[in-house]
Chain A
């Protein structure tokens, strides 16, 4: 059977048996979902590529840990969520958050125009999201932009449902406060 017609579980088995083409097919099949989530957190094309590659590299090396009790895609999205969170934490440690206005005034050009916001209101929202803590940003992005349910977020992040609700509430309040702040 051609690789593109085989179910994910068979491709996982084939990858574990040493068939790298099977993993390439898995990557091809699921990359859009991974890119979709990661693009909500990446600031430019290079960051986006980096996050997505790290997701699939980890999936490849930890494939033996994938238990077949949930779909492969769900397992992959859990890795994606953790990688995005790690990325937010790393960015916060290494560089202070800079507003979009300051970046544009200093001549910054996004490496990938497709990642920049096409609307001034969205630019404001993205700048405000950048000022949230990594946990707040993660939860608000998954809940409001990716339209994931509380239960799904709990499963993706490993937090309890109550924790997700509390963090989402606080994130919303923090976001409102940031956006009301005089410029």
Chain B
């Protein structure tokens, strides 16, 4: 027995024919489309250039890291050399050496 709530068999071919006849009117959407498109292309090209820079910067990160490490090592060595020189200077001044011994 047929379900009374069920919709009658749809005539798909008739519906498709109706849909073909009622093609959506896109004339309003098409208006000045080229202008909007060219503006978007311009934006995309610009963002494309900036993304190239972003990519290059990311790839340079290991190089930057090595530079920072090398700079850090160099600075540590320079500071320790300066400390050694200062200590030797203290030995030349016995009062300063006494003061250091008091603290040690």
A residues adjacent to B (C-beta < 8 A) = 20, 23-24, 27-28, 31-32, 35-36, 39-40, 45, 48-49, 52-53, 56-57, 60-61, 112, 114-115, 117-119, 121-122, 125, 144-145, 147, 172, 175-176, 179-183
Contact between B7 and A180, CB atoms less than 8 A apart? yes
> A27 to chain B: closest CB distance in Å?
5
Residue of B nearest to A25 (CB): B34
Contact A32 B30 (CB under 8 A): yes
CA distance A57 to B39 in the complex (A): 11
Interfacial chain A residues near B8, Cβ < 8 Å: 180
A-binding segment of B17-25, B51-59, B61-69, B81-89: B17-25
**B15 CB contact (under 8 Å) in A28, A32, A122:** A122
Does A114 lie within 8 Å of B37, measured CB to CB? no
A114 and B24 form a contact (CB under 8 A): yes
Using A28-B34, A35-B30 as known contacts, say yes or no to A180 and B16 having CB atoms under 8 A apart.
Answer: no
Knowing A57-B37, A145-B19, A172-B12 are in contact, say whether A39-B7 is a contact too (CB < 8 A).
no
Lowest 4 A-B CB distances belong to which pairs?
Answer: A182-B5, A35-B26, A39-B24, A144-B16
Q: Complex Cα distance A121/B25, Å?
A: 18
Q: Known pairs A23-B38, A180-B10; list 12 more (Cβ under 8 Å).
A: A27-B34, A31-B33, A36-B23, A40-B24, A45-B29, A53-B36, A56-B37, A57-B37, A145-B20, A176-B10, A176-B12, A182-B6
Could you tell me the dominant secondary structure of chain B's interface residues?
A: helix
Contact A147 B7 (CB under 8 A): no
Say whether B33 contacts A27, CB under 8 Å.
Answer: yes
**Residue contact B7 to A31, C-beta cutoff 8 Å:** no
A49 neighbours in B (Cβ, 8 Å)? 29, 33, 36
Chain B nearest CB: distance from A25 CB in Å?
Answer: 8
Cβ contacts under 8 Å, A53 to chain B = 36-37, 40
A27-B33, A35-B26, A52-B33 given; A125·B6 CB < 8 A: no
Find the A residue at minimum CB distance from B39: A53
The reply to whether A24 and B37 form a contact with Cβ atoms under 8 Å apart is yes
User: A20: which B residues are within 8 A, CB to CB?
Assistant: 38, 41
- A selection of 14 A-B contacts at a CB cut-off of 8 Å is A32-B30, A48-B26, A61-B44, A114-B27, A121-B15, A122-B19, A122-B22, A125-B19, A144-B19, A175-B12, A179-B12, A180-B7, A182-B6, A183-B7
